[in-house]
Amino acid sequence: MKNTSFIVFLLLLLGACKKSTNFIADNSTHSGGYLPVSTNALVDMADNLAISNRAYVAGTTFKTELQFFSVDPVKEINLYETIGTGVKNRVANYPYASAYSNIKKLDTLLLPYTVGAALTSGTSIRLDFEFLNVNSKSLVRTATIKVK
């Protein structure tokens, strides 16, 4: 009898440890609506190297690609910058326009950013790429660069 109880307990324990494979359900909210999803590496499209923790010369412009999808419609994509310990400023707003890539099976957007020409060497810049859905749910991707 003890062996049977132990086996039943073990089976229940193993069943409770099963990892969910329903990505959409796991990323939805109980209040209704779904969050946008974006997981690609934020890279400089000129050399395909990550932009985070990278140094750029003041006045330089680079582009990064955002790959994303959402069950609920995307309203807009915003780019914010925070220079040093300053305030967060929106520097670009892109109303959603379908840019579906048949190769990547996702929407894609090339986003340019110009490092301020008057910034001094060593200045840290935080870039926040925000995906905002029509249901007001959002996702923010962050990268930090420095001025060379």
Q: What is the pLDDT of residues 104-141, one digit of tens each?
A: 999 999 999 999 999 999 999 999 999 999 999 999 99
- Domain over 22-147 is classified CATH 2.60.40.770: yes
The answer, yes or no, to whether residue 103 has pLDDT greater than 70, is yes
The answer, yes or no, to whether residue 29 has pLDDT greater than 60, is no
Q: How confident is the model at residue 33 (pLDDT cuts 50, 70, 90)?
A: confident
The pLDDT tens digits of the residues spanning 51-92 come to 999 999 999 999 999 999 999 999 999 999 999 999 999 999
Q: Is the pTM of this model over 0.75?
A: yes
Backbone phi and psi for residue 49, each to the nearest 5 degrees, phi listed first: -105, 150
Q: Where are the domains of the chain?
A: 22-147
The answer, yes or no, to whether residue 12 has pLDDT greater than 90, is no
The full DSSP string for 93-146 is EEE----EETTTTEEEEEEEEE--TTPPTT-EEEEEEEEEETTS-EEEEEEEEE
d(CA 100, CA 75): 15
Q: How confident is the model at residue 3 (pLDDT cuts 50, 70, 90)?
A: low
The DSSP 8-state label assigned to residue 40 in this structure reads S
Tokens of 55: 């140094």
Helices (H) and strands (E) in the chain, counts: 2, 10
Mean pLDDT of 15-32: 58
3-state SS assignment for residue 2: helix
**Per-residue pLDDT at 51:** 98
